[in-house]
Amino acid sequence: MRITRGRRSRTPDPTDNPPAKRAKKKNAEASFGKLPQDLQKAILTMFCHEEGIDLRERIKRLGTIRQICRCTNEWGRLALAAHVSHRELERRKELVAIFEGGEEPFAAIAKAILGKDQGMCALFDVLVHNTDGRSAFRGLKLMAKIFDKEEKWLRKCKAHMDAGNTSLAGVVPDED
């Protein structure tokens, strides 16, 4: 069939193309994202700081909260850094208990080195208070490097003392 200009196309047959059904309007569903940000923050804070959970669980929960959206990511960054620093402090206290059982001069040295940790974590909390959390993560990274170097050296010293040596002469920290 030949189509010429100005000729209208034929109307479609209703049996070939049934009329599209209108989608039913959905009932308004409650969505966490539709809540005001202050209320979201209050709910997530309650979830994070629930009574009876330890720091490890709080860190896991904060990690989950940060994955919800950009807003919660930024909100949770500082809290996560603070909780991780406190968990690191707990871990270091356990390390003190391990080193206290060794030789007397070494135990005193280890306790002196690890005794500054609580002050260092308190200083960290003060320095990052009311920041965006990015500086907190940078500080946490630096603090972790310092702690790792100290722990390697202390473990090296403990192994040296356990080998029967009475002096720490010749034991030097690893260079990185």
pTM to 2 decimal places: 0.64
At 23-52, the pLDDT tens digits run 665 665 556 667 787 888 888 888 877 888
Q: Which two tokens stand for residue 90?
A: 């707990």
Which of 11-20, 42-51, 148-157, 163-172 is predicted most confidently? 148-157
Per DSSP, 102 falls in state S
Contact between 168 and 157 under an 8 Å Cβ cutoff? The reply is: yes
